[in-house]
């Protein structure tokens, strides 16, 4: 596996691959890999001739009071894991390479970014879409794989790609969970033993919601009350619990195909998100 550190070297590599008539699959990440990241890499490998994983803890998507400084990092372990997956290139640029001091451009998607995580993390999605747009230009992928764990991010990126007529296929990968149901996340390392137990209320609430829909419940308001009650049984703070359409992110009053239960809570100092579609089989 090649480790590439600068945008110019990365684009030179991409140009060579494309000139040979081959395709590139990209998995954008912030590193500290877990099984969720590795599954995304496997999917990218199936979709394209060459796989590039970007590893960049993107400062502009963190708010001033967020965890940029303590975000977990382990570059040598990440290299070993990516290499074992058969990744061709790990693109790990420095902050100055991505954002030279003269840079003053942001890519922003409106509307979709004002709700859910966007409401409590102003500027977050502009940071995400800016870095993803830059990665797409630098790496020139034909396909890029994102996790449904960050389902709002996936919706925002799909919107950006459609709106800007970008010729890149966006693939959404299902959420990868621990055996007890907790959605894998690099941030799970922040949790103490008791916090981790409390965090299981997220997957319990989702399982409950899916069961209630199977039983025929159609009123979103009733389901939200039940979900909030379940979450409140643990020592967590609810940031939001919403039933929204998966593409428009608008709240739905009636439970129907395409509805997503989206949850964000704080367990101690750690912010966790989870979600699931309620009708689709998996």
Residues known to be catalytic: 37
> What is the nearest approach in angstroms of ligand AMP to the Cβ of residue 253?
28
Query: What is the nearest approach in angstroms of ligand AMP to the Cβ of residue 257?
Result: 22
What's the DSSP call for residue 184?
Answer: P
- Report whether 89 contacts 13 (CB < 8 A): yes
Nearer to ligand AMP, 62 or 223 (CB): 62
Task: Considering the complex, state which of residue 199 and residue 220 has its C-beta at the smaller distance from ligand AMP.
Answer: 199
C-beta closer to ligand AMP: residue 89 or 176? 176
CB of 36 to ligand AMP, least distance (A): 3
Q: What is the DSSP letter of 1?
A: -
Q: Where are the alpha helices (DSSP H) in 147-243?
A: 151-163, 193-199, 201-214, 220-232
Complex with ligand AMP: residue 36 or 141, whichever CB lies closer: 36
Q: Which residue's CB is nearer to ligand AMP, number 21 or number 69? A: 69
| 25/129 Cα distance (integer angstroms) | 18
Residues that bind ligand AMP (CB under 6 A): 29-30, 36-37, 40, 146-147, 149-150, 173, 175-176, 183-186
User: From its phi and psi, is residue 128 left (phi > 0), alpha (psi between -120 and 50) or beta?
Assistant: alpha
CB 239 within 8 A of CB 271: yes
| Helix, strand and coil in the chain, % to nearest 5 | 40, 20, 35
Coil/strand/helix, residue 10: helix
Q: Give the residue among 156, 154, 235 at the shortest CA–CA distance from 194.
A: 235
CB of 110 to ligand AMP, least distance (A): 22
Q: Which residue is nearest to ligand AMP (CB)?
A: 147
Nearest approach in angstroms of CB 147 to ligand AMP is: 2
């Amino acid at each position: 596996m090649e480790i590439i550190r600068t945008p110019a070297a990365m684009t030179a590599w991409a140009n060579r691959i494309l000139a040979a008539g081959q395709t590139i699959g990209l998995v954008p990440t912030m590193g500290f890999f877990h099984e969720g990241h590795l599954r995304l890499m496997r999917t990218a490998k199936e979709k394209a001739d060459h796989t590039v994983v970007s590893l960049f803890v993107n400062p502009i998507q963190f708010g001033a009071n967020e965890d940029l400084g303590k975000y977990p990092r382990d570059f040598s372990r990440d290299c070993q894991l990516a290499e074992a997956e058969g990744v061709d290139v790990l693109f790990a640029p420095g902050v100055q390479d991505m954002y030279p001091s003269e840079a003053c451009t942001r890519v922003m998607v409106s509307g979709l970014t004002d709700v859910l995580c966007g409401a409590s993390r102003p500027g977050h999605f502009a940071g995400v879409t800016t870095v993803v747009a830059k990665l797409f230009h630098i790496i020139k992928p034909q396909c890029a794989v994102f996790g449904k764990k960050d389902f709002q991010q996936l919706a925002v990126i799909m919107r950006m790609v459609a709106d800007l007529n970008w010729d890149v296929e966006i693939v959404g990968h299902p959420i990868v969970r621990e055996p007890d149901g907790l959605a894998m996340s690099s941030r799970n390392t922040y949790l103490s033993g008791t916090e981790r137990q409390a965090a299981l209320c997220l997957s319990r609430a989702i399982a409950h919601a899916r069961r209630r829909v199977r039983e025929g419940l159609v009123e979103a308001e009733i389901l939200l009350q039940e979900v909030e009650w379940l979450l409140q049984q643990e020592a967590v703070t609810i940031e939001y619990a919403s039933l929204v359409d998966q593409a428009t992110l608008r709240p739905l009053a009636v439970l129907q195909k395409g509805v997503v239960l989206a949850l964000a809570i704080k367990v101690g100092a750690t912010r966790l998100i989870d979600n699931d579609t309620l009708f689709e089989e998996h």
